[in-house]
Structure 1
Amino acid sequence: MRVSVIGGGRITEEATARVEAVGRELGQRGHTVVCGGLGGTMEAVCRGVKAEGGTTVGILPTERPEDANEYVDVPIATGLGHARNALVPLNGEAVIALAGSHGTLSEIGFAGVYDRPVVGLETHDLPGVDAVETPEAAVDAVEAAVSN
């Protein structure tokens, strides 16, 4: 399945390790990752997925496919700026939300609009976000949500 992964564009080293672990878990299980295609959470999750031979899609805010991080297989240039946040959760069957700020909140909101299940790992505590403790639990939860 396609899983949208959302989170901050700038993250700590600790968060980077956690996000890469999410990516590795998704890649090991054969899921395609959809993200915003730039740095921070987006780059870390793509790096993890690629380490396991998986596929990544980056929905970019810019008009230039070459702006994608080096781990994006399919860059989609939109030229929409932050308005592209609506497209990231739309293009996954479920969403894993990690630590982030306003952009992450907007993507969580759009996930709700599109009726996508949202699993949170150290992210915003909001209604509709199923909080979990580990990268493995995050992937287990999105798989269970989509199979129901």
Structure 2
Amino acid sequence: MRVPGAVRIGVVGPDSDGATAEELQLAEEVGRLLAERGATVLCGGLGGVMEAACRAAVAHGGTTVGLLPDPDDSAANPYLTVALPTGIGELRNGLIVRASHAVISIGGSWGTLSEIALAVRTGTPCVALRSWQIVPRGRTASAPVPVDTAAEAVTAAYAAIGARTRPPDAEPR
């Protein structure tokens, strides 16, 4: 079922092998805040930052979608509302960016850097929560908006897309 006007925010960052404890905590806070504002969390569907954001979002009544790199969902984190196996490996990073109204990057890994670069290249608003800061030399492309807290990240993502939050008295999804 399509939810008209649903905001999709991509949350990208290191997987279980590369995420720090601080990045996982930030991802959980971002996931909680996004769920409270009625956004759908879109991610790569694996562990680390992706799982932490999904865990918190689901715990707070949110919806999570994972675009998995493998042709099956065996590596999917258990907090996905919808797991979509793509079978295209890291190329799914482009799908995550293009399907998101905005992207919040948390921390850094090479995959995260590719998602940030794709967001900058395609004009998808990107917020960098203690993450990579890139500005292509000689370009006027919008660089990621640097922030230091999860609350700043969510506020900046919503501001970038001009999205309104669900009214506080609305029924949760």
The two structures share one fold, judged by TM-score above 0.5: yes
RMSD: 1.2
SS at match of 2:67: strand
After superposition, where does 1:121-140 map in structure 2 within 5 Å? 121-127=129-135, 128-140=143-155
SS at match of 2:95: helix
Q: Which deviations, in whole Å up to 9, do the C-alpha atoms of 1:38-81 show, x marking residues without a partner?
A: 00011001011111100000000001124210000111111011
Where do 5+ consecutive residues of structure 1 fail to align? none
Which one of the candidate residues 2, 7, 17 is aligned to 2:8? 2
After superposition, where does 1:1-148 map in structure 2 within 5 Å? 1-10=7-16, 11-127=19-135, 128-147=143-162
Paired-residue identity, %? 45
**Alpha-carbon deviation of 1:14?**
2.1
> In structure 2, what residue type is equivalent to 1:85?
N
Number of residue pairs matched by the alignment: 148
Q: Where in structure 1 do 4 or more consecutive aligned residues deviate above 3 Å?
A: none
**Alpha-carbon deviation of 1:100?**
1.9
> In structure 2, what residue type is equivalent to 1:45?
A
CA distance in 2 between counterparts of 1:36 and 1:99 reads 15
CA distance in 1 between counterparts of 2:159 and 2:21 reads 29
Q: Normalized against structure 1, the TM-score is what?
A: 0.96
Whose helix fraction is larger, Structure 1's or Structure 2's? Answer: 1
**Which has the higher Rg, Structure 1 or Structure 2?**
2
Q: Normalized against structure 2, the TM-score is what?
A: 0.82
